[in-house]
Amino acid sequence: MSLFWERVEKRRFKIKDIDQLKSLDDVFNQYTIEALYELMNRGVIGDIHGPVAQGKEAKVFWGETPDGEDIAIKIFYTTTAQFIRGRHKYIAYDHRFEGVKTSSKFKLMEVWCRKEFRNLKVAYEAGVRVPRPIAFYRNILVMEFISYQGQRGVPAPLMKECPPDDPEQAYYTLLKYIERGFILGKIIHADLSEYNVVNTGKELVIIDWGSAIKVSGPETYEFLLRDIRNITRYFEKEFEINVFDPDKVFKVILSRAERFKKESKEKDKIEERDGFLVISGKTLIEELQGETPTEETETVEATTEAAEVEAEAEEEEEAEIVEESEETESDNE
């Protein structure tokens, strides 16, 4: 049996008593266990299995809903001082969190957890392939379990560890997701690389959206350029395929974003082809290659009224975040 499958088998156990968690893993302190109880009482979490991934900010567990659906349970650490110090700059660039107090490590973790949930939701609704967000509470985020080839409890490996069979198409796909996030979701991953993309064997899924920021002006564009450069560097170095100049990709996406605003108002529709946005009659790849499109274009309803509703929802959420932050801050004191 390979080392990979040995690790898989070790995760195939079920927690019979929630108090067992304290001795199982030090991530389960009293604060986290209370949050876990709450999500169980809400009917979000049914069972918990072993850990499937671990990073500098959190540990991810394989779990199930009460109906037996596989879910990923991401638990953010509450004792990582270095991580806490490094998160403030990302929150500072996100206008949704203006006014939120982050004086305590618990409060910052709660804000960060909420931030990743919201970022996932925005990206998911923009058509970016990400884990579907399900729920969150305190420092626990529950989302879709991304499995390898549909096998239960087996997490999809990182793209770095499991390269795509068709590197060129994979490269184009990630550029497609970068553009959809930027234009439709007004969101930038801000930490995109081969270490934040998993390969299910059938598709690529972008993970770890905690550092993502909302597009609020030119000062946030540097994160977009960095994401493009990181992905371009990986595919050029790893596979030696022909890639686009990242600076050109950056400029073209910015230009397409401006044209999209005008065209979407005139047509009240979003045009797509194979998941790519069609702007000025071309997809991103066609425009970068200087090609003329030949295939039929699909249209998706996208009225300006819907955009206004989205903006109003964000304003309401900002107010809720600040209000809940102040309430929790008071409870923790």
Instruction: Give the sign of the dihedral formed by CA 283, CA 287, CA 288, CA 289.
Output: positive
**Exactly one of 17, 67, 165, 191 is catalytic; which is it?**
191
- Which DSSP string corresponds to 72-90? EEEEE-S--HHHHHHHHHH
Q: Judge whether 188 and 211 are in contact, CB under 8 Å.
A: no
DSSP string, 230-286: HHHHHHHHHH------HHHHHHHHHHHHHHHHHHHHHHSEEEEETTEE-BTTB-HHH
Task: List the structure tokens of 160.
Answer: 């770095």
Residue 191: active-site member: yes
Angle at 220 between CA 80 and CA 82, to 5 degrees: 10
Nearest to 49 by CA among 6, 7, 8, 11: 11
The reply to whether 208 belongs to the active site is: yes
Positive or negative torsion for Cα 63, 50, 116, 224: negative
Q: Which of 29, 89, 121 is nearest to 113 (CA)?
A: 121
Q: Which of 25, 208, 268, 331 is catalytic?
A: 208
* Sign of the C-alpha dihedral computed for residues 76, 79, 80 and 84 taken in this order: positive
CB 253 within 8 A of CB 222: no
**Cα–Cα distance between 49 and 103 in angstroms, integer?**
33
| Closest of 134, 265, 270, 119 to residue 181, by C-alpha | 119
Q: Name which of 142, 140, 17 is nearest 78 in CA terms.
A: 140
Phi and psi torsions of 82, nearest 5° = -65, -40
One-letter identity of residue 56: K
Catalytic residues: 191, 208
